[in-house]
């Protein structure tokens, strides 16, 4: 029992609600800390290391580790393959993983055991990518979304039907009513349908960081970051049913489309410390406050149907074979959303000047995500569903670096991302990464590759007992160009 069991239960609770979903609460709360190629190659395990621009989004004390000023830029290529029932869909995206500048100020008369330097950092890290495209299939099904719409419409006159779903189905002659406004599907009892759902998502969460850090005696490093997150998420889902040979109905096929766009800004604070126990051993700790978002959401739908004029049974009364309708209006909603707190504990061991081994342990309770102040109405059920669905989980990131020569380093990393669900579902997964770095005088170049794979099970529409599985594989290549001065 996996994701589909959870979604079946959720559909009974949520009814026809389409906004501020539990799924989006999780999507907007998950983040990856792989801005630069070096961080990506080492699995994002930089909480006790610092000296890399990605650390400003992980442990802000990392900005205090810098001994000189630096500028970095990281263009990235991402490729996602989503496969279902032997059919796969590819999605390529070109992104900017990181742009950052760190300025280091060293006082002329810095005491040997006092404050050694004060550093300032400003820039951008990409912390989430929503790009993917996939198809889900359920063949020869004895159920239909038309039955769901007919049941939901019961007792309502046509003009009072839900305008985003049942009203469209009625206008497209997919459900019909009697004098008492009881509705039924145009399908007959023994008709069977092939079902298909296409998912097309794109978007990102980018974090603009403003960081300050200080180095005390080259033993204690302190830092703070103000993070401003820019969120954009656009999804289009197309659900279709196709009549099988031998069906009595004159319906050939229909397609129902949903369009949702969410965008907005959020702000958070991060505080961190790194302590050098010995020249070889470092430990770190960081706390991230929730990101407080204000988000705008738009939602609309469309539906088209096609009938066979050679089959008179249940043929539309207007005599037309094709019908296409758009929802009467676009729903626009503004709401606040806050992600959970994060706590990151870190440790690193340095093998002189030859290598390093680093690990981060992150704790995040996804059940604490919360919607607030929506102009769409009461959010109590949404927040209750979040609390009942998600749990506290942990993420482990491990990275290693070995310096072959003073100018050439090789790196590897592993991350275990924990399961955020309380029951029914296991969406934990692993990531694997590797890379190298070259430096010459004040210039350095890093390259990294990261791979992850995870499975998802879906119901094709809320209320269905049929499921479809989607296997996702993700490949990322990042290249960082850096200059020290």
Q: 274-278: which pairs have CB atoms within 8 A and are 24 or more residues apart?
A: 274/47, 274/48, 274/50, 274/59, 274/61, 274/62, 274/64, 274/65, 274/220, 274/221, 274/346, 275/219, 275/220, 275/221, 276/218, 276/219, 276/220, 276/221
Structure tokens at 312: 């008179």
Beta-strand relationship, 322-326 and 292-307: antiparallel
Structure tokens at 154: 């019961």
Q: Which residues neighbour 441 within 8 Å (Cβ) at sequence distance 6 or greater?
A: none
Q: Mean pLDDT throughout 52-57?
A: 94
- Written in H, E and C, the secondary structure of 310-370 is CCCCCCCCCCCCEEEEECCCCEEEEEEEECCCEEEEEEEEEECCCEEEEEEEEEEEHHHCE
Structure tokens at 243: 């009549």
Cβ atoms within 10 Å, residue 476? 24
For residue 11, the model assigns a pLDDT of 42
Structure tokens at 184: 């039924």
Does this model's pTM top 0.85? My answer is yes
For residue 6, the model assigns a pLDDT of 45
In a domain, 175, yes or no: no
For residue 378, the model assigns a pLDDT of 66
For residue 15, the model assigns a pLDDT of 39
In a domain, 464, yes or no: yes
Query: Which residue has better confidence, 427 or 109?
Result: 427
d(CA 181, CA 194): 28
In a domain, 176, yes or no: no
In a domain, 98, yes or no: yes
Q: Does residue 8 have a pLDDT over 70?
A: no
Q: What is the pLDDT of residues 175-223, one digit of tens each?
A: 999 989 999 999 998 999 999 999 999 999 999 999 999 999 999 999 9
Residue 335 domain boundaries: 3-144+187-484
Query: Which residue has better confidence, 479 or 107?
Result: 479
For residue 18, the model assigns a pLDDT of 39
Closest to 466 measured CA to CA, from 148, 164, 92: 148
The answer to whether residues 46 and 405 touch, using CB atoms and an 8 Å cutoff, is no
Beta-strand relationship, 443-459 and 355-365: unpaired
Closest to 44 measured CA to CA, from 338, 482, 478, 481: 478
CATH number of the domain that residue 93 is part of: 2.40.160.60
In a domain, 149, yes or no: no
In a domain, 150, yes or no: no
Residue 202 burial by Cβ neighbours in a 10 Å radius (0-12, 13-18, 19+): middle
Angle at 37 between CA 31 and CA 43, to 5 degrees: 55
The answer to whether residues 175 and 211 touch, using CB atoms and an 8 Å cutoff, is no
In a domain, 59, yes or no: yes
How many domains, the chain?
Answer: 1
In a domain, 160, yes or no: no
């Amino acid at each position: 029992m996996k994701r589909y069991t959870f979604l079946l239960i959720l559909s009974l609770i949520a009814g026809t609600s389409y906004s501020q979903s539990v799924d989006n609460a999780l999507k907007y709360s998950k983040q990856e800390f792989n801005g630069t190629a070096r961080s990506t190659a080492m699995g994002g395990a930089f909480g006790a290391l610092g000296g890399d621009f990605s650390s400003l989004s992980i442990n802000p004390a990392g900005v205090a580790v810098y001994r000189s000023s630096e500028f970095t830029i990281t263009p990235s290529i991402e490729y996602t393959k989503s496969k279902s029932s032997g059919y796969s869909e590819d999605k390529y995206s070109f992104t900017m993983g990181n742009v950052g500048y760190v300025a280091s100020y060293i006082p002329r008369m810095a005491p040997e055991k006092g404050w050694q330097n004060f550093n300032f950092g400003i820039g951008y890290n990409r912390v989430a990518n929503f790009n993917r495209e996939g198809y889900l299939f359920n063949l020869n099904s004895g159920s239909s979304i038309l039955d769901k719409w007919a049941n939901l419409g019961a007792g309502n006159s046509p003009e009072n039907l839900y305008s985003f779903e049942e009203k469209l189905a009625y206008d497209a002659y997919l459900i019909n009513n009697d004098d008492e406004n009881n509705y039924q599907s145009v399908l007959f009892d023994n008709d069977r349908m092939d079902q298909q759902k296409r998912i097309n998502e794109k978007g990102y969460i980018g974090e603009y960081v403003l960081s300050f850090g200080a180095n005390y005696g080259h033993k204690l490093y302190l830092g703070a970051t103000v993070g401003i997150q820019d969120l954009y998420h656009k999804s289009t889902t197309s659900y279709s049913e196709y009549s099988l040979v031998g069906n009595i109905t004159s319906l050939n096929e229909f397609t129902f489309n949903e369009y949702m766009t969410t965008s907005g800004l959020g702000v958070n604070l991060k505080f961190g410390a790194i302590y050098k126990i010995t020249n070889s051993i470092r430990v770190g700790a960081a706390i991230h406050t929730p990101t407080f978002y204000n988000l705008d959401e738009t939602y609309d739908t469309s539906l088209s149907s096609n009938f066979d004029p050679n089959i008179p049974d249940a043929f539309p009364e207007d005599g037309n074979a094709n019908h296409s309708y758009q929802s009467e209006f676009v729903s626009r909603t503004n709401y606040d959303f806050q992600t959970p707190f994060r706590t990151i504990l870190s440790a690193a061991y340095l093998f002189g000047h030859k290598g390093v081994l680093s690990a981060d342990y992150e704790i995040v309770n996804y059940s604490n995500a919360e919607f607030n102040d929506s102009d769409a109405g009461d959010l109590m059920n949404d927040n209750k569903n979040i609390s009942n669905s998600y749990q506290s989980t942990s993420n482990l990131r491990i990275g290693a670096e070995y310096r072959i020569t003073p100018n050439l380093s090789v790196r590897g990393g592993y991350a275990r991302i924990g399961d955020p669900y309380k029951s029914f579902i296991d969406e934990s997964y692993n990531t694997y990464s590797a890379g190298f770095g070259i430096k010459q005088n004040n210039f350095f170049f890093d390259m990294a590759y990261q791979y992850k794979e995870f499975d998802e099970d879906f119901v094709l529409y809320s209320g269905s007992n049929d499921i479809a599985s989607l296997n996702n594989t993700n490949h990322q290549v990042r290249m960082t160009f850096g200059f020290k001065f």
